[in-house]
Structures are given as structure tokens and as C-alpha cells.
Amino acid sequence: MTMDKSFDAADAEARIAAGWEAANAFAAGANARRPKTFTVMIPPPNVTGSLHIGHALNNTLQDILVRWHRMRGFDTLWQPGQDHAGIATQMVVERRMAERGEPGRREIGREAFTAKIWDWKRESGDTIINQLKRLGASADWSRNAFTMSGAPGAPTGEEGNFHDAVIRVFVDLYNKGIIYRGKRLVNWDPHFETAISDLEVENREVPGHMWHFKYPLAVNPETGERATYEYVERDADGRVTLRETRNYISIATTRPETMLGDGAVAVHPSDERYAPIVGRMVEIPVGPKEHRRLIPIITDEYPDPTFGSGAVKITGAHDFNDYGVAMRNGIPLYALLDTKGAMRADGLSYADSAAIATRAAAGEDVGDVTAVNLVPDDLRGLDRFDARKRVIDAITAEGLAVTYLHREIEPETGAEHLERRPVIDAKPIMQPFGDRSGVVIEPMLTDQWFVDTKRIVEPALEAVRSGRTEILPEQHKKVYFNWLENIEPWTISRQLWWGHQIPVWYDAEGNQYCAATFDEVAVKVRERFGENVEVAERITEDKFQNDGQRMLPNPGKRLVGDPRLGLETVTVILERDPDVLDTWFSSGLWPIGTLGWPEKTPELERYFPTDVLVTGFDIIFFWVARMMMMQLEVVGDVPFRTVYVHGLVRDEKGAKMSKSKGNVIDPLTLVDAYGADALRFTLTSMAAMGRDPKLGPKHVEVNRNFVTKIWNATRFAEMNGVRGGGERPQPSHTVNRWIIGETARILMAVDEALAAYRFNDAATGLYAFVWGKVCDWYVEFAKPLFDGEHAEETRATMGWVLDQCFAMLHPIMPFVTEELWALTGDRDRMLVHGDWPELGADLIDAEADRQMNWVIALIEGVRSARAQMGVPAGAKLDLVVTEADAAARAALAANGPLIERLARVNPAADGVAGKGMIAVSVQGASFALPIGDVIDVAAETARLQKAEGKLRKDADGLSKRLSNPKFVENADAEVIEETTGKLAALEDDIARLQAALAQLAAM
């Protein structure tokens, strides 16, 4: 078949992908010729997701490894799949229901709502899978997994056992005491009314305010007056800068509404300013005067004496740092907000609540304070931000805001006006937002399910310390160790309907029953209450369905006897915990769950542990560390032997991509414009270990030109009778022996680079070889050989070399190479199942290598000199040999016609350098080019001087930047390295221009 003039990526990619799929080319074990396995687990994208540039990089790198191993005959499995993405999917479906005017989820109930999600999944859930196929990802799509397969209500086609695996692990860890239910502070999304993970919290810098308030010291009951103390501030040298008598302690806060729940004021033990009042009581400056409560001043290491006043209010139920202080010092946790982010309206009256809190502050053990509601009546039910304004106004009106003296001069009269104004610092603050809801996240004290990670963390640490699992680049080990060595309990429950429901039931007395099924639970109930007990289930769809704070079990439920059945018959009504598991819990079982565990499947036996996990740095601890802990606890082995962590794809200026900046790059837009191969090659060439790729459309366009270059070179070969598919030739001509050696050399370099995960080295090496040595030099060297005695060996060599190029490029550029493979020979199989080349250093012909590299250096030297001096392209120059050793003369004699044609020179002749000539030197020889008669020396001198001046100006600018201490101190190491490299390149260019000017001057 005659090749088209150009490669039509849009047509070819779809056709080739269909061919791969029809041949089941990506199936586990396809093309296996050796027993050794190679397994990669895809980081499962959200079922709601669509392909972004990070996915494109991540999956391209995985695909390179998979295709490379498959072509080498490994029994290869790339396991694909999707995460059910609890909160994201629930949001998408609820939004769609609202757009259609359908009843909300609470109106239709949990079962009907999850059925709608399954409907949506069937219609739209494969979007990202199809997009990955467009990218060329060669995963075994027939094994596509889903983290909710096999769940109750799953439709036909979703019968897998992933749900069963998740539930089984929960039950097992519960029975071991590793999973437990408790009350702790969690990130809370008031919009979705659920706990969320740190990864779902987006910390943004926003305009904020810091309010300063006075907490008055308690009134002395004997004198009826407030206590006082001498407040003293000193400078760094110990000199007194302020001394005054105070009857208050000052604190600053960005969230005044949380003052209502304060349990103490903390100062650092070393802070001498407050030593006289540590242990005393202060009054919270808000709330009804008649119930104004007192809290103690305590010491703790947390407050920073150098920041603000050095005193910190402790609201343990609404701040993660405060929570730690409260736990260390036995301070009660008073919850102020309901699940929607409004001030609580439930619980005890304010008077009763304040009385309990006062007793607690005095040191009395008041027990459970869940019902204590310290929100005053006039604030109950208010939105948190509305309540904030009222609290500020009330404190200010009472004169308990810290103030400063404001001086103002009246412009017309010059009269001076003095007034005291509240101290309010307006400054940017970091505020947490839900990444999907967009609302401000609240630290919330709720009953949740936790994994006691400290009990399962050590094997995960030891696996990396010992090298059983390697993390690359090395720097990411620090992130892994830092998180695991300081690990906190893992919150695994979510207040959603879409997900794996917690397999725990409660009776009226609060007893917990954990089992995989209700039938198993019923057995446990009868073991407790007797064989004649009837067991029934009461459906509870929301953990907080009646009010903002109620937790299961419902305290109103009791064991119920039915007199119609006799006194001996009792019905125990159970409520199942309505929460679902965090998606990180289920995806933590991804390596074994996708391979069929808990069944002992052949796939599990064969492909586990997996070989490589390719992932982004942002989920090292959210996912990687949890998979390590989970697999080691559940099956006693590491989930993967290597973790390769790639960087974040940034825009071409190095900025992080974001929708708000408008610099997000859609990979499919680039595929449409330039083809999947060009995008894949670009991402690969930028994937330097430990670096963030900087991507722009121009980079992809350059590599689309690379695709075109390969196509054109192959088309040239076809027009000259070259066909592929033959055995490696044994040529006699130096050019052909040289290119075979160069092919072996690049193959060894590519193998070494891919084995070490240096993807960029593999790509840039192939680019230099295929474009530079094959498509440029070898094609040009071969042209005259097609008409002489070496024609057939040259055709055979070129066909063989191109075959090796297609094979080596295939893992990175699968579409164009598959197309060229099919067009250039009679093949018994597709290139996806072709043999990876096996070439060694024995193919490198030292003499041919030396000779051809010498020829190339001479041609490049002549071309460079011609271009630098402005010699017209059509001008043919004499080549004067002024000095040459024996090896140089042999190379010159053997390759004269090639040099003459490609350097645009006449046959070489001995002579001496004279006026009007410029020098060109290569190893073992010196040459002179007479150019005095073909250029305008004065004009060329002026041109080069102007170019030198511009380069010098640019170099001076970079030099000044690098000598600026502020730049060196504040710039990223990568920016400094890039700037240094630019300066070095400019200085090299300047040196070359100066040398050229010197030659012109000599003329």
C-alpha cells in the first residue's frame, strides 16, 4: 500500500484503537513469552471525572512501562478501573435531579436515590475511560473495575465482589479493635453535611480580619472588684517598654462566634507577662450578663509568646490546634454549630448550659457535654456569619474590644478630634473551603468511625525503610515517613448515601453488632438476648435526620415485648448506621480488590504484589500510604514494589493550572489539534524525575513535527524501494555499519532509562537519534548509495533501522508507529505485540563509528561556519586541507562525495590558509574555506557585532539577576538553575560570535 503524503491522526487513531480492541491486544498475558509478570494498577479516576492534563501524564507514563514490558514478552497486566467518588457523584446526581425539577433525595429515599446514581453511572460513568482510550492507554479494559461493584442495588454488569471485599475488611478490622466509633474533630462540609478528608479541603488566601478582645479577670467575691495584675512588656534586651495595671487578658481571633464555646485561655509557660494570673479565672466577654461564665487561664506549649498578645482562646470543639490543647488539659469540648453551619438550636437552655460549663471550669467532672449548648437564645439558629457580626457588636458595645486612640484633624477648622476605636487587623488569612461545595469548612466534633492507624502503621514504615517498596524520587520518602510517623486516627465515615454503608447495627441500648449481612447480625443479637428473639430493622437514612446533633442510636428505642405473642417473645429493633465509608478506605484495597480478593483467584496469585504504582505527589499519604497499611494488614504483603511519583503539569510559565487563572490546558484539545502521539511524546520528554513539567501548545506542536518527520523519512524510504520486516543485515558499507551500531547504542540507552524511570531521557534520546541520526544524517548518507553497488544492503539496512525505530518509539508514540509498521512490511502481528529489539554493544563498529562521527563533525563545522558568516546557501566553496592526520585523510577519502554534497564544497585539496579564508577544525584535521569573494565582509561584521550586542545585553540582565541576593534567596531552585543555564548558553553564543568576528577581522 502506498503511503499517504501525511499522517492523518484523527482518522488513524480511531481506526488503530478499534483494531487493538478487536484483537484483545491489551488483555492480561497478551504476547507473553516468558513466565515473569509485570503488573501496574491504575490510580482509579473518579467515575464523575473527565481527562485532565495530570491524568494524561500519569497514564502516558504507565502505558510506556506496560507497552515496553509487553513487547519484551512479560505476562503483563495493567489493571484499570474507577472510584465511585462518593461526594462528587452524589453532588452530580443531585444537581441533575434539581435541573430536571425532580424531587430531592430525601423525598424519594435512599434506595431510590442510589438507583438513580446507578442509572447515571450506566449513562455517563465511562466518560474518562473512553478518553483514556483516545490517549492510547493499553489497559486491560475487559477487567475494568469499580469500587462499588457488587453493592446492594447494583444493576446487571456490576456484579463484581469489590463491595464484599470492602465490607469484609471493615468487619475484620472492627473485630480486631482497629476500627472503632468515637467523637473527634473532623473537617465538616456544611453544604453536604458530611465529614470530608484533608484532600477535599482547599485552603485559599482570602481577605480576613483579626479582632482583639478583652477577657476580664474574675470579680473578687470579697471586694466585689475585678482582680488586677501588673502587665510588663520587655524588648529583646530585657528593657521594660510597657508597664501597666490590667484587669483583663487580651486575645485575638478571626472567628469571634466561636468564643461562645471557649473552655480556657492558654499562655506559654515561659511567658512572664501572664505568670501572675496563670490559674486564675477570666470572664468570656459575650453572652447574657446574668449567666456570664468563667474559664481558667492555663499554660500549654502551643501558644507563641511572640505572636499577638501571646494569649490564645481554647475552643476545642471548633479548632484542630485547640482540640489538642483541650485534650492535653482536660478541657470540655462545647459544640456550637449544627450540621448546616448554623448556631445550634437544640440541647439544654443557655442558663443550664452555662451552669454546667461553670462547674466544669471550676474543676468538676460534669460528664458528657453533648447536650450543653452555649449559644445564647438570641443567636440560636442564626447562620454562623450572621452570629459573628452580632457577637462583635455586642462585645464592642460593652466596651470589651481592645481599642486604640484615633486622632483626626478637621480640614476646615483644624480642630483635633480624638476617639477610641476597636483594634481590627485587616489582613489576608488562609481559609479552608470544600473543593466541591465551595463553602467554608468547619472543624466539627461529631461521632465518626475511625481506623486506629497507629496499630497498623509500623509495617508500612518498615516496608519502605527496608526497601521492599521503593519510592522514587527519593525526596518523596520524606513525605511518606513524615506523615506515617506522625499519623492520626483515620476518619473513614461519611454522612452520604452513595458508598459502602457501614456494616454496624445498634439496638436500643446502644450495643453494636458488626457483620457483613443482617442475617449474621441477627445471629449475634440472639446470642445476646436468646434464641426466641425476633430481630427487625428500622431504616434510618441520615445520621442527623432529626436535628443537627443527634447521634445513633435513638435513645427512645427499647426492647419491645409483644403481649399477643406471649411474654417470652421479644422483638429487638436494630438501626443500621446510615453512614458510608470514605472512598479512600475502599480505594485503599484497590490492589487486591481488583484481583478478586477475598477469593483466591488465579489473577491474585499471579499478579500480586504489583510491580509499579505511578502516581502524583499529592496523594502519597492519602492513597499510597493507606494502600500500604491496608494490604500489609489484610494480606501481609506490600501492594507494589516501586512507587514512581511524577510532578505536577504546570503551564508554560511554570504557574499551577487553575480555572480561575484561565490557564487550564485540556489534553483532548491538544489531541484534536496535534494528535495523541505528539501530546504523549511531549509529556514524556518533560517527565524529568523530581521536576514539574511546563507545558504549552507550542511544545506539542514541535512534537507533531517530529511525527511528521518520521512519516516523511519512512515515505522517502518507501519511494526508494525500502521494505521492513527483514532480518538484521550484515552490511559492508561504513554508513550502514555505523547506523546499525547507533541503533544498538540508543536501544541500550532507552532500556537503561526506562528501567530507572528516567522517561525524559528515553524520549530525548530517541528524538536525537530518530530525527538527527536516522531521518537527517542516515537518509542523506543513503541517497547516493541507492544507485550504486551498496544499494540492496542500504535498502535492507534502512528497512531494518526503521523497524527498530518504530519498535522503540511505540511505547511513547503508539499510533503513528503502529500505522507505519503496518504500511512498511508484511507483518504476522501488530506492533503492539511486536518484539522489543534485543541489541548489544557488539553491534557497534568502532571504526565505522569513529569515521562517520568525524564526517558528521566536519559537515556540521562547515555548515555552521557558512551560516555564521552569511555565505549564500547556493554557493559552493573550496575545501582547503591545511593539516590532517592519517585517520582524517582516510575518512576524507572514503566519504568525499558525502562531504561534498552535504557541506556544499568542492573536493578537498591540500593548501595553506590565506587572506579571505575562515578556519574549520575537527579531530585530527584543520580546513580553510575561502569566502572572501562570496560575502560582504563589512556587512557581515556589522551584522555579527549587532547580534553580539543584543546577546551581551541579555546576558548582563541574567547575570545581574543571579547576583541579586534576594532573587537567589526567594527563587525556586529550578528557576535559578534555568536562569543559570540560559546565561551559560548566551555566553557560549557570544564566544562563537567573537571568534567569527576575529576571523572576519583577519580577512
- Residue position matching grid coordinates 526503521: 802
Per-residue pLDDT, 943: 79
How confident is the model at residue 558, as a pLDDT?
Answer: 43
Under the banding of pLDDT at 50, 70 and 90, the label for residue 923 is very high
Backbone angles phi, psi at 976, to 5 degrees: -65, -45
Helix (H) / strand (E) containing 651: strand 650-651
Among the listed residues 708, 796, 810, 704, the one whose alpha carbon sits nearest the alpha carbon of residue 750? 810
Average pLDDT taken over every residue of the chain: 92
Q: Are 82 and 146 in contact (CB under 8 A)?
A: yes
pLDDT of residue 564: 42
pLDDT digits (tens, 9 = 90+) for 311-347: 999 999 999 999 999 999 999 999 999 999 999 999 9
**Alpha carbon distance 616, 867 (integer Å):** 45
Is residue 1003 within 8 Å of residue 918, measured between CB atoms? yes
**Shortest CA distance to 811 belongs to which of 797, 831, 838?**
831
Beta bridge partners of 841: none
pLDDT of residue 549 exceeding 80: no
Q: Phi/psi zone of residue 129: left (φ > 0), alpha (ψ -120 to 50 degrees), beta?
A: alpha
Res. 412 pLDDT band, cuts 50 70 90? confident
Quick check: 565 pLDDT over 50? no
Instruction: Provide the pLDDT for residue 532.
Output: 85
What pLDDT band is residue 568 in, cutting at 50, 70 and 90? Answer: low
Distance CA 489, CA 771 (A): 54
Whether the Cβ atoms of residue 536 and residue 574 lie closer than 8 Å to each other: yes
The model's pTM is 0.88
Residue 717's H or E segment, with its range, is helix 697-719
Percent share of the chain, pLDDT over 90: 80
Q: Which of 157-171, 257-271, 353-367, 616-630 has the lowest mean pLDDT?
A: 616-630
Backbone angles phi, psi at 606, to 5 degrees: -90, -40
CA 818 to chain centre: 31
The pLDDT value recorded for residue 1 is: 62
CA distance 276 to 272: 8
pLDDT in tens, 97-125: 999 999 999 999 999 999 999 999 999 99
Q: Is 189 helix (H, G, I), strand (E, B) or coil?
A: strand
